[in-house]
């Protein structure tokens, strides 16, 4: 059942992260919960693999939600943390 409010979703995020760490799929997790979001994934050399966020963009995008990749920026719906973790593991 999907979260119906932000505090509930924040608890879901913490649960997903706890499961990833417990399973040994991550050794370091940093989280700051805010109603703005950014899911940032980089490699060991600190090179961007992808980042989803809803920060104001210049030039403006048709919607706030977007994804950064080494190829550029594209409009993308906001993923859930579980979807981001699945994308990382693929």
Q: Give pLDDT tens digits for 51-75.
A: 999 999 888 999 999 999 999 999 9
Angle separating helix axes 81-89 and 6-22, nearest 10 degrees: 30
12: closest CA among 23, 21, 3, 4? 3
pLDDT of residue 34: 77
Q: Facing residues of 75 across strands?
A: 66
pLDDT of residue 50: 98
Mean per-residue pLDDT over the chain, rounded: 88
- How many other CB atoms are there within 10 angstroms of residue 75's CB atom? 12
Instruction: Please give the structure tokens belonging to residue 72.
Output: 């550029």
Segment-wise mean pLDDT, segments of 10 residues, the chain, 90 residues = 78 88 80 84 96 91 94 94 91
């Amino acid at each position: 059942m999907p979260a119906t409010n932000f505090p509930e979703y924040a608890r879901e995020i913490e649960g997903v992260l706890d499961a990833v760490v417990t399973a040994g799929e991550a050794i370091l997790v940093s989280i700051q919960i805010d109603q703005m979001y950014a899911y940032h994934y980089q490699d060991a050399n600190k090179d961007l693999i992808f980042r989803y966020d809803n920060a104001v963009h210049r030039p403006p995008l048709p919607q706030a939600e977007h994804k950064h990749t080494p190829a550029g920026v594209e409009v993308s719906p906001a993923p859930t943390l579980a979807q981001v973790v699945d994308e990382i593991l693929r």
